[in-house]
Structure 1
């Protein structure tokens, strides 16, 4: 399975790098990557992670649409900041998703790491939504989530995926600095 895992990781690095560069090709490449990871996570009993990949598939399509909307191309492509109350609402939603998913995974499945996997899933959904909307704070949330994912994937012996998430952490740092310099933020 490591060959498929390597392909998914390489597609993921490419997709996230293109996201940093605000290139809309990040979305279709990311779509292929998340579908591969859905299968991989199923095989290692990371069911929340598998479900996350299907949610990501929907968010990949949403992000692609947001970034390429013909009626709002200029507006849809501008980086913006979330207000503090909106960030707090997003984090509360991530926590709510974590609990909502974690309980059934812990009690009704043979999931390997039900609570950790569900927590990472909940907050990843928020980060991905913010990314699709080009919200600067997505990168800060990705930094935290990606570091924790490294440990989870090492524990599950998904070594290429752990390395992939270590690289994603570095790319998230780069994304934070690049998007902070976006001219759209200077006018706010």
Structure 2
């Protein structure tokens, strides 16, 4: 992931996929800004946040067209969490560029697990009953887990990557089903970056003496 040629190569592949699948300009903008944002996040660069805000706006309009309403609403929360993450990463950093990585507590793990189940069921029911969502409960599950992952990421908590890995796997299947092929391929790349990000953040956390759980 630290090789200088990797990111340009990924962008070239994404453009090729977008051309082959006749993707819209909006979809191309969403995929490229998303790729850059996730890449910078894994490398713990603060520029991940402003680029991520552009990505959120692109995804909002794209999901509206695809009738993935949970994902569309998700972008509003992502916007708020991205602003929070931008601020949080700059606070408590000392002499470092961003704040140090922390790990999750058992209490927070259980709280988030219960929220995942409750919010997914409620959100899925609302989508099924009151919208034209094509796959309401799967859409709601991915959306809810994405919110949890984003909260953990914004809080600089190591386990965010494990949540993103699960989100990426489910998203690949969902976007392929919805014929959003460039997005499905993008999430395949996201999956690889999430795995690399987890390993990198884990090494950093272990190298810090006295890492404090949240």
User: Quick one: which of 132, 148, 155 aligns to 2:154?
Assistant: 132
Deviations 1:114-169 (A, max 9, x none): 11000111111000000001111110111011100001001111111111111111
Task: Name the residue aligned to 1:93.
Answer: 115
Gaps of 5+ in 1: none
Task: Name the residue aligned to 1:180.
Answer: 202
Q: Is residue 99 of structure 2 the alignment partner of residue 77 of structure 1?
A: yes
Q: 1:96 touches 1:122 (CA, 8 Å); kept in 2? A: no
User: Quick one: which of 23, 35, 54 aligns to 2:45?
Assistant: 23
TM-score after normalising by structure 1: 0.93
Task: Name the residue aligned to 1:39.
Answer: 61
Q: Is residue 116 of structure 2 the alignment partner of residue 58 of structure 1?
A: no
TM-score after normalising by structure 2: 0.82
How far did residue 92 of structure 1 move?
1.6
Task: Name the residue aligned to 1:7.
Answer: 29
Bigger radius of gyration among the two? 2
Gaps of 5+ in 2: 1-22
Q: 1:2 touches 1:160 (CA, 8 Å); kept in 2? A: no
| Residue aligned with 2:158, SS | coil
How far did residue 23 of structure 1 move?
0.6
Number of residue equivalences? 186
Deviations 1:79-131 (A, max 9, x none): 01102332122122122221221111001111111110001111110000000
Comparing 100-109 with 176-185, which one deviates more in the overlay?
176-185
